[in-house]
């Protein structure tokens, strides 16, 4: 590849974001780029003007795109940055567009343990790295060896966890740079035990979470020493609805698109839940979901 080459990916104009988000809501993206592969994405980033806003999209979970849509360019990595390989006996290389569920299964198939929890995360590795996604008591950065970054000038470089402030559902700083791949450091172990653990985790998820309706995953972070779902439920908010958006009857930390909700319905319901929990419990719940775009 050289700098004279032209990007090979697809550029979409005025693309409806509702097609790409798990909540099935959102306005249009001014532009959306679908890279051919990682090298193509590096090349495309070099073509962007410095002032062009850039937003990265994976599976579209943990994401609320407002009804006014997104200005600039959306980089759609889902199913595109998808290389995954075993580098050493206990090191797995994964590009940012690979789904967490497939990573979990790949690790099990290669006799590695420690990544089973990824089966319960409905997103890509890029998204999991960005928010230190976790499930069932484990977190993404617990198993990270190093990450490959890309900035808006098309430069790539390696970072380790020491370069970030990593905490519960938060990774900072990320100033005009994005994750494009990761090396996961795991341990060799009993694959049959790992597979059984994944089955149990997915069974628990199906029993406790609304997985067959449009939702983003958990909406609120758990406060220290407590659970957002418990607080919401004890405040009598299960089943509360604004427009087409409803607090799940199955799990109070989920908001479902029950009846053709728009983004403003969901955002209004998020605020209502925050206000009620603050009023009744004197606790201000912080959102886990990423909110982007303009209001109509």
98-117 as b/e: b if 16+ CB within 10 A: bbbbbbbbbbbeebbbbbbb
248 is catalytic: no
Taking the C-alpha atoms of residue 217 and residue 207, their distance in angstroms, rounded to an integer, is 14
148 is catalytic: no
Q: Under 8 Å CB-to-CB from 228, ≥6 apart: which residues?
A: 218, 219, 220, 221, 222, 252, 253, 285
Place of tokens 């193509």: 40
- Cβ neighbours around 51 below 10 Å, total: 6
Taking the C-alpha atoms of residue 73 and residue 33, their distance in angstroms, rounded to an integer, is 7
What would you report as the CA-atom Rg of the chain, rounded to the nearest whole angstrom?
19
Select which of 22, 61, 99, 218 is catalytic.
218
Query: Measuring CA to CA, which residue among 17, 16, 19, 21 is closest to residue 215?
Result: 21
Count of helices and strands (H, E) across the chain: 6, 20
Select which of 116, 169, 248, 258 is catalytic.
169
51 is catalytic: no
CB of 173 within 8 A of CB of 166?
A: no
* Peptide linkage before 139 cis (omega within 30 of 0): no
CB of 113 within 8 A of CB of 194?
A: yes
For residue 22, report the phi and psi dihedrals to the nearest 5 degrees: -70, -20
Residue 273: helix, strand or coil by DSSP? helix
The residues annotated as belonging to the active site are: 169, 218, 288
């Amino acid at each position: 590849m050289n700098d004279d080459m032209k990007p090979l990916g697809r550029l979409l104009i005025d693309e409806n974001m509702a097609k790409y988000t798990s909540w099935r809501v959102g306005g249009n993206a001014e532009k959306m780029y679908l890279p051919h592969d990682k090298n193509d994405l590096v090349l495309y980033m070099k073509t962007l003007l410095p002032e062009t806003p850039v937003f990265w999209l994976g599976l579209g979970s943990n994401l609320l795109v407002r009804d006014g849509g997104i200005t600039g360019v959306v980089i759609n990595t889902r199913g595109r940055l998808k290389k995954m390989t075993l580098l050493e006996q206990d090191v797995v290389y994964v590009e940012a567009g690979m789904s967490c569920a497939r990573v979990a299964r790949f690790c099990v198939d290669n006799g590695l343990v420690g990544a089973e929890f990824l089966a319960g995360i409905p997103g890509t590795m890029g998204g999991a790295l960005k928010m230190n996604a976790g499930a069932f008591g484990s977190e993404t950065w617990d198993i990270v060896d190093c990450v490959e970054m890309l900035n808006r000038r098309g430069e790539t470089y390696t970072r380790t966890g020491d370069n970030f402030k990593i905490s519960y559902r938060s990774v900072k700083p990320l100033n005009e740079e994005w994750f494009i791949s990761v090396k996961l450091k795991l341990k060799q172990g009993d694959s049959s035990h790992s597979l059984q653990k994944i089955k149990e985790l997915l069974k628990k998820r199906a029993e406790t979470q609304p997985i067959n309706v449009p939702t983003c995953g958990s909406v609120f972070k758990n406060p220290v020493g407590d659970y957002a779902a418990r607080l919401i439920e004890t405040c009598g908010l299960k089943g509360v609805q604004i427009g087409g958006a409803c607090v799940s009857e199955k799990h109070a930390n989920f908001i479902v698109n029950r009846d053709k909700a728009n983004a403003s319905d969901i955002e209004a319901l998020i605020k209502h839940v925050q206000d009620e929990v603050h009023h009744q419990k004197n606790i201000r719940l912080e959102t886990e979901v990423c909110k982007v775009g303009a209001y109509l």
